Chains A and B, each alone.
Chain A
Amino acid sequence: MKLTRRKLATAVLIPAATALAQTAQTPPALPRNPDEEMKAARDRVKAMGDALAQQAVPMATEPAFQFKA
């Protein structure tokens, strides 16, 4: 869709004006010791794997790196 300047203003500014108030995000508590720190880091690694597992990839798709002989 090609945009005119008026459509641009409408697209950008009106949603901004009517946006719901943003609520402050409460950050997760800081790990209290090295064990908790490692658990949090391992949980992040596991979450990466879980997210990747949900992504379908055709069997023929090769990894995006090259080996040149």
Chain B
Amino acid sequence: MAAIGAEVFFATIPELNARLTSKEIPAEDLARAFANRLEQLGPRFNCLALPLPQQAIRKAQDVDKEIKRGRLRGPLQGIPYGVKDLISYAGQPTTWGAKPFAGQVFDYSATVIEKLDAVGAVLTGKLAMVELAGGGGYRFASASLTGPGLNPWDRTRWSGGSSSGSAAAVAAGLVPFSLGSETSGSIVTPASYCGVTALRPTYGLVSRRGAMALSWTLDKLGPFAHTAEDCGLVLQVIAGKDGKDPGSAGKSFYYTPQYARPLKELKVGFAPVDFAERAEAPARAAFAAALGVLKDTGVQLVETKLPPFPYGPVLSAILAAEQASIFEQFITSGKVDELADQGQIAGLKASLELPAKDYLKAQRVRRLIQDAFSRLFAEVDVLVAPGRSGAATKLDQRLDVGGPPAPAGAAPGFQGIIPAGNLAGLPALVLPCGFAENLPVALQIVGVPFAENTLLAIGREFQARTDWHKRRPPGM
């Protein structure tokens, strides 16, 4: 077996690809090393749902034969990865992070897994998550079949949710990349808390066939990785038309940041209050410095405001109505009572009582939101805000109440940007941008639909000027 140093576990996809194609490291050795590491260290962070070492080794052996024959399939060939446990993998349990579904097995794999398999990527395990992606509204980090997601930077802190394991596994160097999902915040939050790069794609760009449905009109699948470039390389593979996903936009994605508009032509909208009064005090210096770096890339920072809408209630109404329909039988059968979080149980039950008029009103307001964002994006090219206003919450902190309130009279800033971006189907890139009390904090950059290359070009330049994305958790 080839000697695999610790640096390999935090290498980027192009770095790993170079070692594989040069035959410096056989894919089988890489798969064994990552699979062992995931199996050994995953439980330390409650981020492992299901190890798949045998399947990974078999796949990697096939990859080695292909590389030996000179049959190269692109940068993901032989690269280990993990998926959130709401993405089905044929013949293996897909628990949706919830005890009542612990024995659930599908006989087909999700489209994203089929696409990654076709380019030779190596699935080493399934990753933990908040039960049912938290749609009912959970109160504590412990709302998961595998226990609370522990943050690799500090295990007394939460890794974020609902894609808890997807973010923690990348942060701890247990997989080079992973897939997670977002309905509202489930990629942005854990990526911010764990200090990894992640991309929430435009709604419809990535097929959700084979992934748990929480909200048909909001759900997205996207990558977590070490760099913006890695996210682009993964997105290129998993994006594309899928006739079996009614929400598919029918569009492909090619990672070509070199053809994105020059950064000096880009107007980046922001609200200063998000980086000051509305940011938690320990994080403000990091956010301010990150804005300075962003400005140094050549973009024009422009003060702007989000259109005023009740984003939270609009999103919550749509989510509640759609999940009520999806999980109706589960809720009315009483199986819902087997979930771990009492807030989640009651929230799912109450969602059955949401009036149809409220759902329709929310979807109509959503149309207005979409139109308002179209107008906003005529003035700016992207928006930037903190990924979250501060660092990861403590494990026992209640999640059904907000963080510290902003001072009276503070402007609203972009506080609603997570529900707003999800309602409008906008892509978002999360970039680690510093630390607050030894915990990572991040920026989110939000763009117009299908502007992923613009976001990734900004991210690539930001990461060329900083090393936050290269930092490793203590002991890793």
- CB contacts (< 8 Å) of A13 on chain B: these are 276, 284, 288
User: Could you tell me if A57 and B346 are in contact, using CB atoms closer than 8 angstroms?
Assistant: no
Which stretch, B52-60, B74-82, B95-103, B397-405, touches the partner chain A?
B397-405
Assuming A8-B291, A13-B276, A25-B401, is B358 touching A52 (CB within 8 A)? yes
Assuming A2-B302, A20-B408, A49-B358, is B313 touching A64 (CB within 8 A)? no
> For residue B288, which residue of chain A has the nearest CB?
A12
Provide the main secondary structure of the chain B interface.
Answer: helix
Q: Is B366 an interface residue (CB 8 A)?
A: yes
B354 to chain A, nearest CB (A): 5
Map CB proximity to B onto A15-27 as digits: 1 under 8 Å, 0 otherwise. 1100111111101
Q: Bound complex: CA of A31 vs CA of B363, how far in Å?
A: 31
User: Could you tell me if B363 and A63 are in contact, using CB atoms closer than 8 angstroms?
Assistant: yes
User: Could you tell me if B303 and A27 are in contact, using CB atoms closer than 8 angstroms?
Assistant: no
Give which listed residue, B316, B320, B405, contacts A23 with CB less than 8 A: B405
**Which residue, of B300, B313, B351, B403, has the highest number of chain A Cβ atoms within 10 A?**
B313
User: Could you tell me if A61 and B367 are in contact, using CB atoms closer than 8 angstroms?
Assistant: yes
Q: Bound complex: CA of A3 vs CA of B299, how far in Å?
A: 10
Cβ < 8 Å to B, chain A residues 10-69: 11-13, 15-16, 19-25, 27-28, 30-31, 34, 37-38, 40-42, 44-45, 47-49, 51-55, 57, 61-65
User: Could you tell me if A22 and B281 are in contact, using CB atoms closer than 8 angstroms?
Assistant: yes
- CB contacts (< 8 Å) of B287 on chain A: these are 12
A10 to chain B, nearest CB (A): 9
Q: Bound complex: CA of A14 vs CA of B200, how far in Å?
A: 33
Q: Is B275 an interface residue (CB 8 A)?
A: yes
B157 to chain A, nearest CB (A): 18
User: Could you tell me if B295 and A5 are in contact, using CB atoms closer than 8 angstroms?
Assistant: yes
User: Could you tell me if A57 and B368 are in contact, using CB atoms closer than 8 angstroms?
Assistant: yes
Interface residue tally for chain A (C-beta within 8 Å): 44
Cβ < 8 Å to A, chain B residues 352-368: 353-355, 358, 360-368
User: Could you tell me if A25 and B404 are in contact, using CB atoms closer than 8 angstroms?
Assistant: yes
User: Could you tell me if A65 and B291 are in contact, using CB atoms closer than 8 angstroms?
Assistant: no
- CB contacts (< 8 Å) of B277 on chain A: these are 15-16, 19
**Which residue, of A2, A23, A64, has the highest number of chain B Cβ atoms within 10 A?**
A64
**Which residue, of B312, B361, B398, has the highest number of chain A Cβ atoms within 10 A?**
B361
Q: Is B343 an interface residue (CB 8 A)?
A: yes
- CB contacts (< 8 Å) of B407 on chain A: these are 19-22
User: Could you tell me if B272 and A45 are in contact, using CB atoms closer than 8 angstroms?
Assistant: no
Chain A residues close to B by CB (< 8 Å): 1-3, 5, 8-9, 11-13, 15-16, 19-25, 27-28, 30-31, 34, 37-38, 40-42, 44-45, 47-49, 51-55, 57, 61-65
Closest 8 CB pairs of A and B: A63-B363, A41-B350, A51-B313, A16-B276, A20-B407, A41-B346, A11-B272, A64-B366
19 A–B contact pairs at CB < 8 A?
A3-B302, A8-B292, A9-B288, A11-B272, A21-B407, A22-B406, A27-B398, A38-B349, A40-B346, A45-B354, A48-B358, A51-B312, A52-B310, A52-B358, A53-B361, A55-B314, A61-B368, A62-B367, A65-B363
